Amino acid sequence: MDLFSSTNPAGPKALSVTQLVRRMKNLLEIELGEQWVEGEVSNLRKQSSGHWYFSLKDERAQISCAMFGARNKRGSADLEDGAKVRVFAEPSVYEARGQLQIIVSKVERAGVGDLQAKFEALKKKLETEGLFAPERKKPIPGFPKVVGIITSGTGAAIQDILNVLERRAPWVQPVLLPVRVQGKGAEQEIAAAIRQMGAAEGGTPRCDVMIVGRGGGSLEDLWNFNEEIVARAIADCPIPVISAVGHEIDFTIADFVSDLRAPTPSAAAELAVPDGEELKMRLSILNRRLSRRVGERIERLGLLLENARRGVLSKGGERLLREPTMRVDQLRTRLVSAVQADWRDRASQLKSLKRSLEAQRPERQIELRLEMIERLRVQLGRAATHEIHDREERVKRLSGMLRALGPVSAFERGFSIATTAEGKVIRSRNDVAEGEILVTKLKDGELVSKRVEEE
């Protein structure tokens, strides 16, 4: 039947919106089915329910994505803003809004997105130059009087900051330099405002601390705070800078190079100034403590004064000074005695030193050495004479023993010694051959003979 036929008196039959969207959903799910889709992740939102929502985009288009129970799905760890991924997903339509979307079941990393790659490259470059080093960080003043603010003049961030400053420290003067915080060229405005406020140019008040930031958004929305010109302006700023870009999960290059990072603009204001109510409470406590201690001190001193009035102050001045005068006299006597004793000790030491010096004179030393040499010469002469006498006596004893025990004594008693012509002593007749010459030593000479053959 032709729904648009004019013969139908009731007119063409119309579909409800729900029916149309449902047919579109069924058509997509049946005709296309699950597909691999590649693109760059943007505006990732992780719900406490465990469902994640994000956009997948390329140069010309983007599509909404939903990943239910994402924590338990394969590859979910690769999902982050700027990451280039491949997702296996089923196209569908969200009926409540008639919105086209894809339902992701698994994720594979296809490469880092262009923005993320630029982010990592600049981060590595500035980190190598030392712009993130802790020693470069300037301390945030405890009680600033003027707080500079660089953000959008119409966004929620400035209202959050001003509300916190008014609540915590109403005496602080906020100074706003409004800039664009998103879009092409916004980084130039942000960097120029930081330099202007840091140099206090153009009538800008001199600030004690500066807050630079904006509210949350996607990686593309926050990208101006990832530009090198903004990072170098913060690094060169002579006053402390607190960065407050996006939400707690967002990190930008400005966060790394600033002196302090705050998770949100409101948190930055809280970090910049002290809490006035807390200060009042502390001052009140200190005031009570001080009053109590001063009162106790005054009371103790009053008691001491009253005791003094009743005691020594009630007596005459002469009686009051009598005992101190006696102590002074005693001390004077002890001092004189000590000085005299010290003088005597020093005189005795001086006399002893003079004697030591006299004994150490060269002439006296020579005399002492000569006396010692003379004593040694006399001792040596005596020792030599004694040694010679002892040796003479010993020679006499040895000579007597030699005469008594030697061969001369035997000759005197009639003994003789027979030897060969070569001087060998003959002890047996077998020691001499026939015809051999014999020498017989006697008391008064020698006899030479020859052995003859026996008959």
Instruction: Kindly report, residue by residue over 301-325, the tens digit of the pLDDT.
Output: 888 887 777 765 565 556 667 778 8
Task: Kindly state whether residue 441 falls inside one of the protein's structural domains.
Answer: yes
- What distance in Å separates the CA atoms of residue 13 and residue 4, rounded to the nearest whole number? 8
CB burial of residue 254 (10 Å; 0-12, 13-18, 19+) = buried
Task: Kindly state whether residue 322 falls inside one of the protein's structural domains.
Answer: no
Relative to beta strand 417-420, strand 437-442 is antiparallel
Q: Picking from 81-90, 168-177, 187-196, which range would have the lowest pLDDT averaged per residue?
A: 81-90
Q: In this structure, are 170 and 236 located in the same domain?
A: yes
Task: Kindly state whether residue 394 falls inside one of the protein's structural domains.
Answer: no
Q: In this structure, are 257 and 133 located in the same domain?
A: yes
From 96, 104, 83, 92, select the one nearest 36 (Cα to Cα).
104
Q: In this structure, are 267 and 157 located in the same domain?
A: yes
Range with top average pLDDT, 200-204, 248-252, 265-269? 265-269
Q: In this structure, are 52 and 142 located in the same domain?
A: no
Q: In this structure, are 220 and 249 located in the same domain?
A: yes
Task: Kindly state whether residue 318 falls inside one of the protein's structural domains.
Answer: no
Query: In 19-58, at which residue ranges do the beta strands (DSSP E only) sit?
Result: 35-46, 52-57
Q: What is the pLDDT of residue 194?
A: 94
Q: In this structure, are 126 and 264 located in the same domain?
A: yes
* CA–CA distances in Å: residue 183 to residues 174, 190, 232, 254, 318: 26, 12, 19, 17, 93
Which of 112, 141, 163 is the C-terminal boundary of a domain?
Answer: 112
Residue 4: pLDDT band with limits 50, 70, 90: very low
Mean pLDDT of 11-32: 81
Q: What is the pLDDT of residue 1?
A: 43
- CATH number for 31: 2.40.50.140
Mean pLDDT of 142-167: 93
User: Which residues form the domain of 45?
Assistant: 17-112
Mean pLDDT of 379-400: 87
Q: In this structure, are 136 and 223 located in the same domain?
A: yes
Q: What is the pLDDT of residue 78?
A: 78
Task: Kindly state whether residue 90 falls inside one of the protein's structural domains.
Answer: yes
Q: In this structure, are 202 and 255 located in the same domain?
A: yes
CB burial of residue 47 (10 Å; 0-12, 13-18, 19+) = exposed
Q: What is the pLDDT of residue 3?
A: 46
Residue 192: pLDDT band with limits 50, 70, 90: very high
* CA–CA distances in Å: residue 443 to residues 110, 308, 403, 417: 137, 133, 13, 10
Q: What is the pLDDT of residue 11?
A: 61
Q: In this structure, are 129 and 267 located in the same domain?
A: yes
434 has a pLDDT exceeding 50: yes
Domain count along the chain? 4
Task: Kindly state whether residue 154 falls inside one of the protein's structural domains.
Answer: yes
Task: Kindly state whether residue 321 falls inside one of the protein's structural domains.
Answer: no
Which of 77, 112, 147 is the C-terminal boundary of a domain?
Answer: 112
Q: Kindly give, in sequence order, each residue whose CB lies less than 8 Å from that of residue 399, ignoring residues fewer than 6 positions away.
A: none
Q: What is the pLDDT of residue 75?
A: 78
Q: In this structure, are 142 and 237 located in the same domain?
A: yes
Q: In this structure, are 105 and 224 located in the same domain?
A: no
Task: Kindly state whether residue 129 falls inside one of the protein's structural domains.
Answer: yes
Query: In 133-268, at which residue ranges do the beta strands (DSSP E only) sit?
Result: 146-151, 173-178, 209-214, 241-245, 260-261
Q: In this structure, are 46 and 132 located in the same domain?
A: no
Q: What is the pLDDT of residue 113?
A: 58
Q: Rounded mean pLDDT of the chain?
A: 85
Q: What is the pLDDT of residue 242?
A: 96
